[in-house]
Each structure stands twice: as structure tokens, then as C-alpha cells.
Amino acid sequence: MLIQVCRAKIHRARVTDANLDYEGSISIGPDLLAASSIQPFERVQVVNVNNGERFETYVIKGRVGEICLNGPAARLGQIGDLVLIIAYGLVELDKASKVVPLIIKVDSNNTLIGVAPSPGSPDATVYP
């Protein structure tokens, strides 16, 4: 059996723009995509720390420092809101306990300040 597990999270990124007229998605800077291994067009869950909204959308590559809510997602957050961006993957149930997601930490300008596996057992496998 396969289950979904968190494989990467961009932690407390700041929304830099909201574009209601775009067709949809979230724009994320290329440095954060590379550090997290999140791919353009991959489905992610976005959790807004400021208002509690949770939604799923797909990723598009943005500019360095950019976290832009596009299309309908622009109604779910405002510029300056803090968000968690979570990517999930499928793994066999018997291997799930060994998965340790990457946690991407950023400063208030969405500049990468750290990449670390979340706490786990010493024999954990960093996913992806």
C-alpha cells in the first residue's frame, strides 16, 4: 500500500504578491524550488499562517524572493502573510517511518537561510 507523506516544506515564506487575474497557481522563486526539489507544475498544499486558509494548487517558477498567489488563490492571502508550502510524495507503508522531509527555512525576504531534514531517527532516509 502507498501512503502520502510530506517530502518537503518551505517554512514561513512571506507572500510578496497576489495576482487575481492570473489563471491559477503559486509562483515560487527558483532558489527555493531547487533547495526543496519542488518541481514546476507539481501539486502543493499552501497553509496561510495569518488566516488559517489551506488550499492546493500547482507551482510555477517565479523570480528570486517571489511567493505570489495567483488566480483564485489570491483571495486566500494578502501580501505579507506567512505561508507554509508543503509537497507530498507517495511511499510504501513499510518505508514511511524512515522518511524525513526537507525543511526549507527562509528569512523575511524569502532568502534561503537553511535546509535541514526534520528531526527523525538516525537511520531515516531524506525524501526526496
Task: Give the residue extent of every domain in the chain.
Answer: 2-127
Position 121 confidence tier, pLDDT thresholds 50, 70, 90: very low
pTM above 0.85, yes or no: yes
58 included as an active-site residue: yes
Give residues with Cβ within 8 angstroms of 34, minimum separation 6: none
Where does 2-127 sit in CATH, by number?
2.40.40.20
Percent of the chain with pLDDT over 90: 85
25 noted as active-site residue:
yes
The one catalytic residue in 25, 27, 88, 127 is 25
How far apart are the C-alpha atoms of 59 and 38, rounded to whole Å? 8
Q: What is the CA radius of gyration of the chain?
A: 14
Catalytic residue (choose from 22, 27, 36, 58): 58
Q: Tens digit of pLDDT for each residue in 29-69?
A: 999 999 999 999 999 999 999 999 999 999 999 999 999 99
